Each structure stands twice: as structure tokens, then as C-alpha cells.
């Protein structure tokens, strides 16, 4: 596995992180070191773990980092739910963000099942065809 940026799941995880950063700008200032920080770190962790897994040399290591990324996605989902319940997120914003998380979670689950020997990912999982 070489370039994480070629993976559709990484692209979706990156979009989720950008969305989370935009949504959390409106959180109360006294949450900057609390929930704002927590949800941002968990969202960023999804894409970061996908990238780190791509830098590993075995399918076992790749799978491990994809599973960690899935855990971070679940953590992000919880933080978003908490933010909604605390009144920091509007219902419509929460629904958009939750759907984005669910898409990433499903893609990660599918990718774990498809990882091939030597940590290679099937070309159908890549954004663009490469050499």
C-alpha cells in the first residue's frame, strides 16, 4: 500500500474531518478544550489511521490501523450525538454529519474484508487508476 490519498475511504474520512471542523466552529467557547477538541481529534484520527495503515508493510498491520480508524469513527459519532443533545448542533447538521460517519464506517468495514496480501487494496477501492 502506498498512497492513502488514492483511497475513497480516506477521501470520505477527510471530508468528514473538514465537516466536523466547520460544525464545531459554532460550539461554545468554553468547550474549546472539551467537546470541540475531542470531536475534532477523533474525526482527524480516522483519516490519520488510514494513512498510517497505508504506510505499513503487511496486510495485518493495514487491517489493524483500519480497525483503529473504525473505532475513531464510532467515537466521532458519539461526540456528535452528545453535541446535538447538549444543543451545540442543530438536528439537520447532526443528521448530515452522522450520515457521513456511517458511510465511512461502512467503507472501513468493507475495506478490512477486502485487504489483499501485502496490504494491497483492490483497484476498485482507489479514487483513480494508477500504475
70-123 confidence digits (pLDDT tens) = 999 999 999 999 999 999 999 999 999 999 999 999 999 999 988 855 445 656
For 63, the domain range is 4-114
**What mean pLDDT is predicted for residues 49-57?**
91
Spatial distance between the Cα atoms of 94 and 1, rounded to a whole number of angstroms: 34
- Cα–Cα distance, 22 to 14 (Å, whole number): 13
Q: Is residue 53 part of a domain?
A: yes
Does the residue 90 lie in any domain? yes
For residue 120, is it within any domain? Answer: no
Q: 30: exposed, middle or buried (C-beta count within 10 Å: 0-12, 13-18, 19+)?
A: exposed
**Cβ contact 13:69 at 8 Å:** yes
Residues 6 or more apart in contact with residue 99 via CB below 8 angstroms = none
Residue 15 domain-assigned (yes or no): yes
Judge whether 91 lies within some domain. Answer: yes
**126 has which bridge partners?**
7
Amino acid at each position: 500500500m502506498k498512497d492513502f490519498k488514492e483511497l475513497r475511504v480516506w477521501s470520505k474520512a477527510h471530508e468528514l474531518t473538514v465537516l466536523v471542523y466547520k460544525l464545531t466552529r459554532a460550539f461554545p467557547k468554553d468547550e474549546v478544550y472539551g467537546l470541540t477538541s475531542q470531536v475534532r481529534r477523533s474525526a482527524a484520527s480516522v483519516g490519520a489511521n488510514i494513512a498510517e495503515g497505508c504506510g505499513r508493510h503487511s496486510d495485518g498491520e493495514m487491517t489493524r490501523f483500519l480497525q483503529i480508524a473504525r473505532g475513531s469513527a464510532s467515537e466521532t459519532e458519539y461526540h456528535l450525538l452528545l453535541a446535538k443533545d447538549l444543543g451545540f448542533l442543530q438536528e439537520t447538521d447532526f443528521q448530515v454529519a452522522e450520515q457521513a460517519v456511517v458511510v465511512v464506517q461502512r467503507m472501513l468495514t468493507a475495506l478490512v474484508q477486502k485487504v489483499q496480501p501485502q496490504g494491497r487494496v483492490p483497484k476498485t477501492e482507489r479514487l483513480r487508476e494508477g500504475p
